[in-house]
Amino acid sequence: MPGAPESPLGRSPDRDVEQYLRHLALERSLARNTVIAYRRDLGAYTAWLAARGIASVRDADRMVLDEYAGHLAARFSATSTARMLSSVRSLHRWLLLEERVETDAARALVAPKRPQRLPKALTQAQVTALLDAVSGDDAVQLRDRALLELLYATGARVSEAVGLNVDDVIDREIIRLTGKGDKQRIVPLGSYAREALDAYLVRVRPGLSVRGIATPALFLGQQGRRVSRQNAWLIIRRAAERAGLTVEISPHTLRHSFATHLLEGGADVRVVQELLGHASVATTQIYTHLTVDSLRDAYTLAHPRAR
C-alpha cells in the first residue's frame, strides 16, 4: 500500500507555510516528529500547487483544493489521504485566523472515510514467548529484556521508551514517560519489569556508557549512544524470530497488547486511557471492541444455548 508522497523536509518556498510550521512548533508546542509530518504533507501540497503555476497557498481556491483531494485519493490510501488533507485544512484555517485570507478555501474539504482498523494484540502466551526469547545472561539480552519488559509493562510508545533518561526511573516502582506534545505521565512498573530494569542498570548500562559520549539516555546501544526507534524495532523483530512467532510484531504491538490485556483483566477504560496517555477516552475505547469480541467468542463456545 503506498504511503505519503516523498517531499523535501527543508524550508518551504512558501513563507506562509514556513511561518505556520513555526507556529506549530513554538506556539502550539507540538512534538518534533509531528511538525516534521506536517512539513512533509504541506511540502507535497505546495509542490503540487507550484506544478500548476500557483505560487502561494493563499491563491488556492475551493476548486483547486477539490482537485488536490482527487489527486491524493487516486494515488494513496484513504488513511494517507485523510491525514494529508487534515494538514492542508489546518493550514488554511490558520491563514483565516491570521487574517491573511478573507475566506477559508478548505473549510468544506471532505476527506475520504478511513476504515476502522482494530489494533492487533498478542495473546498472553505469545507475549511470554517473546519475552522468554531474551532471557539470556549476556549484556545484549539483558538490555533487550529490560526494554521489552518495559514496553509491555507500561504501554509506552516506542519513541517514549527510547526517549527515557535514567532520571525518568523515579524509583523502582514508577517511571515518567514523555508523550505527544511533551506531555508527561507517571506509569507504574510491574515486578518483572522492575527486575529486568534493575539487572540492566546494574550489570549492563555502566559498561555501555563508557563506550561513548556521556548521555543520560536509559537504553544504550553497543557504541554507548541512545537506542533509536529503528533499533528498538529490530530488537523486537529478532526476539519474535527466536520465539518462533509468525504473527507480525512491531513496538506498537506491545502497546496494543498492554491495553487489551488490562481491559480483559477488568481495568477501567479511563485508567487505561491515563496509562496510555490518550487525550480522549474515545481513542482508548477502540480496545473495548477487542475485549467484547473475545467475550462473545468465549460465550458462543461455552454457553449451551448460544448457538
Supply the residues annotated as catalytic. 157, 180, 252, 255, 278, 287
CB 131 within 8 A of CB 149: yes
Please, which residues have CB within 8 angstroms of residue 303's CB and are 6 or more apart in sequence? Answer: none
DSSP string, 182-242: G-EEEEE--HHHHHHHHHHHHHTHHHHHTTSS---BSSB-TTSSBPPHHHHHHHHHHHHHH
Q: Which of 246, 249, 245, 216 is nearest to 232 (CA)?
A: 249
State which H helix or E strand residue 178 sits in.
Answer: strand 174-178
Distances (CA, A) of 81 to 8, 287, 293: 18, 25, 30
CB 121 within 8 A of CB 290: yes
Q: Within a 13 Å sphere around the CA of 75, how many CA atoms are in the beta-carbon half?
A: 12
In this structure, how many other beta carbons lie within 10 angstroms of the beta carbon of residue 289?
Answer: 12
